[in-house]
Amino acid sequence: MNPSRQPGAVPPEALGPAPEAAPDMRHAGELAPQLAAISHELRTPLQAIIAFSQLAQMDWPSGVDRRYLSRIDQASRLMLRVVNDLLDLSHLERGTLEVLPDQPLDLSNLLAQVLATADGLRQGRPIALYLQAEGLSGVALRGDGKRIEQVLLNLLANALRFTDVGVVTVGARVLAHEGATLTVRLSVGDTGVGMAEHTLARVLDPEQVTLGAGATARGGSGFGLRIVHRLLQRMGSQLQGVSVQGGGSLMWFDLSLQATVQRREPPVHHTQDAVFSADPRFVDTVQALWAGRQRPLLVLQDPEQQAAQATGHWVIDQAHPQASRWLRHARLMGRTVWSVSALPAEAQGHTLALLADSVLGSPQALRLQLDPALQGLRVLVVEDNLLNQEVVRDQLRRMGAEASTAGSCGEARAMLVHGPFDVVLADMQLPDDTGLGLGRWLREHPRLAAQPFILLSAHLSADDRQAARALGALGCLLKPHDPLELQALLRQLPARRPQGAGSTTPAGSGIERAQAGLRALSGLDLKLLFRSEWPALRLALQRAQGAAEQRKAVHAIRGSLAVLGHSPELLAARALEEQLLAGQALQSPQLQSFLNQIEVMLGLWPPHPG
């Protein structure tokens, strides 16, 4: 490694080849439709943000209509989705985007969130949203929920774009459950304009989906479908579909997920919720959402006869002819009532997409309150953007914490040396270093080795997350972060003592054990620490048989390399793990070359023979 490199700095070789020269202006006409389509996808939610912001300002200070704020939030999230898709597409095209299949996956909750996001994609058109899910309860799944959600949202965006009036349905169905593997089919169906046979063939062919291919009078740039194909390829699946011109489309993909049967007893509920609707798809949707949260649900056929059994929330379909009557009846009985529509709801209603979170107590109306556990918490916010500083500072103030700010790692180091802080909240990309670089400096400092810190970033690679875990980071939050997630992380901090006193906490919890280990790192060279671990890591890789065992060994080495920062060795480990994920075992020359590369970096020369 280059000793002159700044901690955490990205070396030139990690940035890939230099960008090509600007295209000849003679080809500008070829790019124009693509750029226009992408600009339209960004401009549409941006116009909504500006318009509703202006309406909210006009109402100030007499009172702001909460619908405006809700629409601003909705449009902002849609715009963020487009931006994230563009960034992810660039990583997919370069082969640098990672799929993380070994993550806890709550598929029922993921489907509910997908429907909630899709609510804004309807843009007020009379399109009913439904969910049909079968066989998902009672199993714990593992998979990359973020990427699955990304595929579904892009398919939903296309379905809604080509449907003016009608129905769009998200489906999940278990196809097989063999041993520790569950095969599930996820689908998006619509009653829209449909496609001709030759158009469907082009949509389903990854090689024929290019930027600009989806640009039509209805909008769309084509990059959403390109992302779908690339992500499904990385997850070992492919897009399939059928369509009838003038009669709608159905798109689906199958995923094999790690699954274990849950043995725990379902939670005990002292009330029973109820749904009242003549629409079987409406009932199926509510049942699927409730089953995912293991809450009992009674389907009301005759509310007057069954009212005594329905002691919890009542979910009443606005479209039912008797809806108004039973709304009044339920309120007279003192029930909590939700008047719901599968179509876009008006000001006083709640759409089905948002229903489950609202009823089950999730923070749809986000509210930060003074938290006694965080009263007086001293937080150092390391962020170079002044607007971001203001946002985080105000969030912390509402929780009861005290925030100080630094605009660079150098400024943060000086503040940390001179004043005690309970936790550091650091942006990943800073003018003079990275958040990980600041974390490494903390762990090597003789007095600050146990300092808790949290990372904030718009994009965190798997290597960054591994390095953060190895350095004992309290957590990693993606921008724009959820302030309630930040609050939950801060509540994990050990009890504080008065300023100037040493921090002691009861032994036994995970964070106290981690802090004890971090204190032991005080003053250590992290490269020397890796060197001490290297013999065992090398032996495990040399003894590994087959791609699965080799991947496990390479993954362990990659995690240790990540602590040292970006390097050619880390990039080599990442490339080998990608190869092993594809089932291609390492051959002896390739294996020995990798071992030699690391041993040269560690100064262990001559290399150990294989």
Please give the Cα distance from 254 to 565 (Å, whole number): 37
566, 10 Cβ separation under 8 angstroms: yes
Please give the Cα distance from 237 to 235 (Å, whole number): 6
Interhelix angle 107-121/352-359, nearest 10 degrees: 130
Neighbours of 592 (CB within 10 A): 16
428, 435 Cβ separation under 8 angstroms: yes
Residues linked to residue 183 through DSSP beta bridges, in sequence order? 176, 256
Interhelix angle 66-94/28-59, nearest 10 degrees: 160
- Burial of residue 503, with CB atoms counted within 10 A of its CB: 0-12 exposed, 13-18 middle, 19 or more buried: middle
Q: Render the burial of 396-432: b for 16+ CB within 10 Å, e for the rest.
A: bebbbbebebbbbbebbbebbeeeebbbbbbbbbbeb
Helix, strand, coil percentages in the chain from 3-state DSSP, rounded to 5: 45, 15, 35
Please give the Cα distance from 265 to 294 (Å, whole number): 10
Q: Block means of pLDDT (10 residues each) for the chain, length 610 residues? A: 40 40 42 56 67 68 67 73 77 76 86 81 84 83 91 92 91 90 94 91 82 51 81 92 92 92 64 86 86 80 76 84 83 80 58 42 53 90 85 87 93 92 91 88 87 85 78 85 86 62 38 43 59 83 87 80 75 83 84 88 66
426, 456 Cβ separation under 8 angstroms: yes
139, 221 Cβ separation under 8 angstroms: no
Please give the Cα distance from 227 to 209 (Å, whole number): 10
Helix (H) or strand (E) holding 140: strand 139-142
pLDDT (0 to 100) of residue 64: 66
First to last CA, the chain: 23
Please give the Cα distance from 57 to 53 (Å, whole number): 6
Long-range contacts of 202-210 (CB under 8 A, 24+ apart): 203/239, 203/241, 204/239, 204/240, 204/241, 206/230, 206/233, 206/238
pLDDT (0 to 100) of residue 605: 65
For the chain, count helices (H), then strands (E): 20, 17
Give the side-chain half-sphere CA count within 13 A for 458: 12
pLDDT (0 to 100) of residue 512: 45
Please give the Cα distance from 72 to 84 (Å, whole number): 18
pLDDT (0 to 100) of residue 250: 95
Please give the Cα distance from 319 to 321 (Å, whole number): 6
295, 362 Cβ separation under 8 angstroms: no
Question: Helix or strand or coil: residue 144?
Answer: coil
